[in-house]
Amino acid sequence: MKVKIANKRFDILPGLAFNYFIYSFIGILAICFVIDSFVLTWLEDKGKICSYSWRQENTRLLNDIKKRNWADEKNPIWRSEGFQVEEKCPKSKRILVMGDSFVWGSGYANLNTIWWRQLQRELQRRGYNDVEVIAAGMAGASTKKELEWAKKLVPIYKPDALIWGYVTNDPDEGSDKAGFGIVKTMVLPGDDIPERPKSIFTDLFPNLADELFTGLRKSTLTFRLSGEKYGFDFANWELKLLQGKNWQEYSETISDLGKYVNSLSVPSFAVTLPCCVYSTEKPLEGKTLIDKIRNYYNARYTPVAGLFTANRVKWYDTLDAFCNFAKSDKRFYSSDPPLWLGINPANGHPGAIGTYVHAVKTADILEAQYPECLGKKTMPIETATIRKVNDWTPAYIHLKQDVNHIYFEYPENDLEMLTMPLRKPFVQLNFETPVNVKTIRINGACLRSADIYYSAEDVDKHYDDGTLTELGQKKGSYIEWSVPSTPRSTHVNTLRITAQFNGPNHGLLMDVITDK
C-alpha cells in the first residue's frame, strides 16, 4: 500500500508484508482449529485433561439429578420415580445413611454408583437380602444440617442403624450461597477480557477457549489469590474450618451429635469417605498419588476423629482401606492427573473405585460390629434374575416397565441428553442389580436406526469402571442384538441407547432377555 506526499510515494504496508500477515493469520487460525478440534479432544478422551465437553456434560448432570432425585430441604430422603421409598420398610431391617452431595449424587449419571447404593449391592453379595439401605442428604449439607434432618427422619423411617458419611467440608458452620461464612470461600474477581473478542473466540474454538478462559485462568487465579482478601481455595478452606470460631462451633455441634446418637436405641456411627485430593497453595507431600491422598486426609481427619471419639460417637476411618485397595491399580503410580478418581473428569465426587471401597469397608463394619442390623443371611445375590431399571436419564422419558418390557419415549430435543463419552446424545438406563444379558430388542413405529452401548461391573472387582461395549448400529423399526457371551455381559450395569426416527412418534418398546 502506498501514499503520495509532496509528489513522493511512500510504502506504508508493503504488499509482501501484507501477504505475510494474511498467511500468518490464517496459519494461526488453522493451528487453533487443529488444537480445538483434535488435540484437546484426544487429550480429553485419554483422561489427560478436563475440557469443554466434560464441563458441559457435568452441567447437564447437575441439572438432571435435580429432576431425578426428589429430595428437598423438607424431606432429603433420596427417592425418585424409579426408586420409591416408603415410610414402612418392605424388609425386616433398614439402614439410614446421612450425608451431603456424596449422598445426593452430584455428577452421577447412575444412582447405583453412589456409595450407599453400592453398600446395598455389597450386602446382597454377602447374602444380606432382607435389609434396605436408604439415604438422606443434599449438596452442601454440614454435620449440623444432617443432625437436624436425622432428628426428624429417624422417628418416621425407623432405621435399625444410622450411618453418618463424613466428608471433609462437613465442619462448615456458616457458609451461605454467596460463598461467605465464618470462613470465607474463594470468590474470584471478574474477568477483565473484553466480552466481544472473547465471545467470538469462544464461538470459533469452544474447547481451546474453555481451556484458556476457564481452566487455566481459574487455576492460576486460585493459586495466586487464595487468602483472606478473596477467600480460600477449597483445600485450604477445609483446613481453616478446623480452626478458630468455626472449630469452636463445630465442637458444639458434635457435642449435640454425641448426645443424640447415645440417646438412640439403635447403633449409630460415622464413616469417612476419602477419594480425590484438591489443589492447594503448596504442593502436597508424597511421591505417589497414594501418598498424597493419605497425607491430605490425615491432616483433615485427625482432629475431627478426636472430637467424635471424645463425644462417644463411633468413628471408622476408611482411608487405609482405600489406599490399600488403590495399590492394585497402576494408575495410582502414573504421572497423569487423577481425573479418573472422580465421578466424571469435571467433578471430584468419588467415582466407582471410591464408592465401592466405601461400601465394602462399611459392610465390613456392619458385619463385624452390628450384625443385628443386617437380618438373616441367605443366598448371595450378584446378578438379578428379573431385570429392573431403577434410574434413567434424561428424567423425562416417561419410562414404564413390567417383567417383560421396558417402554420409554426417546427425547425429540437432545439439548438435555447426555453425550459423553460417546460424543453423541443418548438415553441411559441403569439396572437396580447387574443382569446377565443375552438378547436386546427394540421396536418403535417411527424407529429408523439404533445403537446400544453397555457398561458392566467387573466380575472380580465388583464395580463398573465405565468401559463401554458397542453392540453396533442397526436399521429398521424392529431391531434385535444378540449379546456375545463374555464375563462383562453377565454383569451388565447400564445401557446407553442412541436412536434416529422417521417421524414424530419416538416411543420405544425394549425387551432385555436375561439368562434366568
Q: What is the pLDDT of residues 63-103, one digit of tens each?
A: 999 999 999 999 999 999 999 999 999 999 999 999 999 99
For the domain bounded by 52-176+239-373, which CATH number is listed? Answer: 3.40.50.1110
**pTM: predicted TM-score of the whole model, two decimal places:** 0.92
Residue 21, class by beta-carbon neighbours within 10 Å (0-12 exposed, 13-18 middle, 19+ buried)? exposed
Q: How far apart are the first and last CA of the chain?
A: 82
Q: What is the mean pLDDT of the chain?
A: 89
* Residue 389: Cβ within 10 Å count: 20
- 418's CB contacts (< 8 A; 6+ apart) are 57, 60, 61, 64, 109, 393, 394, 425, 426, 428
CA–chain centroid gap for 56, Å, is 14
Domain edges within the chain? 52-176+239-373, 389-514
Amino acid identity of residue 415, one-letter, is L
User: What distances in angstroms separate CA 106 from CA 49, 125, 343, 349, 420, one per listed residue?
Assistant: 20, 26, 9, 7, 16
For 8-53, the pLDDT digits (tens) are 554 555 666 667 767 777 877 788 778 778 887 888 888 888 888 9
Give yes or no for residue 452 having a pLDDT over 60: yes
- Judge whether 52-176+239-373 and 389-514 match in fold: no
Residue 292 banded pLDDT, cuts 50, 70, 90: confident
User: What distances in angstroms separate CA 496 from CA 69, 105, 176, 342, 418, one per listed residue?
Assistant: 20, 19, 38, 20, 10
CA–chain centroid gap for 34, Å, is 30
Architecture of the domain whose range is 389-514: Sandwich (2.60)
Q: The C-alpha cell of 464 is what?
A: 463398573
User: Which segment of 113-127, 200-214, 481-495 scores lowest on mean pLDDT?
Assistant: 200-214
Strands 389-393, 400-401: pairing is unpaired
Distance between CA atoms of 95 and 169, rounded to whole angstroms? 24
